[in-house]
């Protein structure tokens, strides 16, 4: 094999790249900084993310992926080209074979945009694999068995819920509600309650630091502490009334209250899949439980909230952030095994 094979998890928040034979070689934010006038790429990945909300007038830092699909074609193509060059090296005689993940609910137009962007970025052959399937392979679920397995992949832009049996997706649902909507809910809660404006990076830091899906009694009374002593965080932002910088103090309980509606939307989509699942597969899912993957599944107590609302045991996969890209890599290295689940150009 002279041409390299690359698996790409093109996420709304992060892009991960898997090189066949080597493993995961890249994990960078899906952010690109371009010049405002001629759309020339200035920075990609971590460097560009540092610029979010901090750029002068002549540079724009943006996310080319929105809700799990391509929002800006030319910039996505430039970003893919940058990631492929970084993974394979710029001087290459043979174009690489590329496998890209796509949400299960994408339209033909969105699917075509991913194929074309990858071809234009320098791929010889492009394979597409559905995200829930890749996540299930990466979470080491034995998908080829004649048994039902349920995976919920919650990333930055979309939540994919699917029931998988005999190597294929039986029932699936894709909603464009995930980590980014949680960040927006936090920013809007702070604005309404405190008249304080915070940027998207600050909202994300709050979610990671004190985000909690379910306040448990054990959390409140840990080490004899009462409710008022849950985790707290100092938030800095701009006052929307006076326009001056200001600092406030937020608790875990307030964030739990702010993000609950978004989490319930995600859980409703999971319930929708469970309602459409054939009875035989539903009984398998009750035995095995729901596997959660993706960055948002790492939100504190999210699995406990989902178990409480659906009545089905839920657990977070090992290395939840890497499940999709690992599954893509495994499918890429064993294309013959998974060829029924993959489309190709």
Q: What is the pLDDT of residues 99-119, one digit of tens each?
A: 998 888 788 888 888 898 888
Q: Beta strand 290-293 with 149-154: parallel, antiparallel or unpaired?
A: parallel
- Please give the backbone phi and psi of residue 292, each rounded to the nearest 5 degrees, phi first: -110, 135
Residues 205, 283, single domain; the answer is no
At 218 the pLDDT is 62
Residues 246 and 271 in one domain: no
Encode 112-146 in three state secondary structure: HHHHHHHHHCCCCEEEEEEHHHHHHHHCCCCCCCC
Distance CA 301, CA 82 (A): 37
Instruction: Please report how many Cα atoms fall inside a 13 Å half-sphere around the Cα of residue 238, on the Cβ side.
Output: 5
The pLDDT of 312-318, averaged and rounded, is: 93
* Residue 261 banded pLDDT, cuts 50, 70, 90: very high
Indicate whether 165 and 190 sit together in one domain.
no
What is the predicted pLDDT for the residue at 225? 47
Residues 30 and 55 in one domain: yes
pTM here?
0.87
Domain boundary, last residue among 207, 237, 259: 259
CB of 315 within 8 A of CB of 141?
no
Q: What is the pLDDT of residue 1?
A: 53
Q: Kindly tell me if the per-residue pLDDT of 92 is higher than 80.
A: no
What pLDDT band is residue 4 in, cutting at 50, 70 and 90?
A: confident
Between helix 179-194 and helix 200-210 the angle, nearest 10°, is: 100
- 33 & 116 share domain: yes
Q: Can you give the pLDDT at residue 217?
A: 66
CATH classification at residue 191: 3.90.640.10
For residue 18, the number of C-alpha atoms closer than 13 Å in the C-beta half-sphere is 24
DSSP designation for 221: T
C-alpha–C-alpha distance, residues 342 and 134, integer Å: 10
β-pairing, 97-102 vs 125-130, is: parallel
Find the angle CA(306)-CA(65)-CA(185) to the nearest 5 degrees: 45
**Residue-level pLDDT at 188:** 95
CB atoms within 10 A of CB 45: 21
Among residues 259, 284, 305, which one ends one of the domains?
A: 259
Half-sphere exposure of 60 (CA within 13 A, CB side): 10
The per-residue pLDDT of the chain, averaged, comes to 87
Report the percent of the chain where pLDDT is more than 90: 43
Q: Say whether both 308 and 160 belong to one domain.
A: yes
The half-sphere exposure of 147 on its side-chain side, counting CA atoms within 13 A, is 12
Domain count, the chain: 3
Structure tokens at 298: 């790492």
- Rounded to whole angstroms, how far apart are CA atoms 259 and 250? 14
Q: What is the pLDDT of residues 181-231, one digit of tens each?
A: 999 999 999 999 999 999 888 999 999 999 999 887 665 555 444 544 688
Structure confidence at residue 309 (pLDDT):
93
CA 61 remoteness from chain centre: 19
250 and 280 assigned to the same domain: no
Co-location of 252 and 274 in the same domain: no
* Cα(309)–Cα(179) distance, integer angstroms: 19
List, in sequence order, every beta strand (DSSP E) within the chain.
5-10, 14-19, 23-29, 32-35, 41-44, 59-62, 65-66, 69-70, 97-102, 125-130, 149-154, 159-165, 168-175, 196-197, 232-239, 245-251, 290-293, 314-316, 342-344
Residue closest to 314 by CA, chosen among 322, 304, 323, 324: 304
Q: Is the pLDDT assigned to residue 341 strictly greater than 80?
A: no
**183 in the same domain as 173:** no
* Same domain, yes or no: 267 and 253: no
Cβ pair 274, 290 in contact under 8 A: no
Question: Rounded to the nearest 5 degrees, what angle is found at the Cα of 260, between the Cα atoms of 188 and 213?
Answer: 115
d(CA 254, CA 129): 39
Q: Which CATH number is 306's domain given?
A: 3.30.420.40
Instruction: Note whether 246 and 268 are same-domain residues.
Output: no
Give the containing element (helix H, strand E) for 46.
Answer: helix 46-51
Best mean pLDDT range from 5-9, 70-74, 101-105: 5-9
Crossing angle of the two packed helices 108-120 and 73-88, in degrees rounded to 10: 50
At residue 86, the pLDDT reads 85
Q: Are 77 and 121 in contact (CB under 8 A)?
A: yes
- Report the pLDDT value the prediction gives residue 66, as an integer from 0 to 100: 84
Residues 14 and 130 in one domain: yes
Quote the domain boundaries for residue 223.
Answer: 179-259
pLDDT tens-digit map of 15-53: 899 988 888 888 988 889 988 888 788 888 888 888 887
């Amino acid at each position: 094999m002279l041409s390299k094979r690359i698996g790409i998890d093109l996420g709304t928040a992060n892009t991960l790249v898997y090189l066949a034979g080597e493993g995961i070689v890249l994990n960078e934010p899906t952010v690109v900084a371009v010049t405002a006038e001629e759309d020339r790429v200035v920075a990609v990945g971590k460097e560009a993310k540092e610029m979010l909300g901090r750029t002068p007038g002549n540079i724009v830092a943006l996310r080319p992926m929105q809700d799990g699909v391509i929002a800006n074609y030319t910039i996505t193509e430039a970003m893919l080209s940058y990631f492929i060059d970084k993974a394979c090296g710029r001087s290459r005689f043979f174009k690489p074979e590329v496998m890209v993940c796509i949400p299960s609910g994408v339209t033909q137009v969105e699917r075509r945009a991913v194929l074309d962007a990858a071809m234009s970025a320098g791929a010889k052959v492009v394979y597409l694999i559905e995200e829930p399937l890749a996540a299930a392979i990466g979470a080491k679920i034995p998908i080829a068995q004649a048994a039902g397995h349920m995976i919920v992949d919650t990333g930055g832009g979309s939540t994919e819920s699917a029931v998988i049996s005999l190597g294929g997706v039986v029932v699936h649902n894709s909603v464009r509600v995930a980590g980014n909507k949680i960040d927006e809910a936090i920013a809007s809660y702070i604005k309404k309650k405190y008249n304080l404006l915070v940027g998207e990076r600050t909202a994300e830091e709050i979610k990671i630091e004190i985000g909690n899906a379910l306040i448990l009694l054990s959390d409140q009374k840990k080490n004899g502490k009462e409710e008022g002593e849950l985790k707290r965080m100092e938030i800095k932002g701009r006052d929307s009334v006076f326009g001056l910088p200001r600092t406030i103090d937020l608790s875990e309980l307030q964030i739990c209250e702010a993000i609950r509606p978004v989490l319930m939307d995600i859980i409703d989509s999971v319930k929708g899949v469970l309602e459409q699942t054939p009875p035989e597969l539903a009984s398998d899912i009750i035995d095995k439980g729901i596997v959660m993957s993706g960055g948002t599944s790492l939100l504190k107590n999210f699995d406990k909230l989902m178990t409480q609302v659906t009545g089905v045991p839920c657990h977070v996969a090992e290395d939840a952030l890497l499940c999709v890209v690992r599954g893509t890599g495994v499918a890429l290295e064993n294309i013959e095994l998974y060829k029924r689940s993959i489309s190709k150009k």
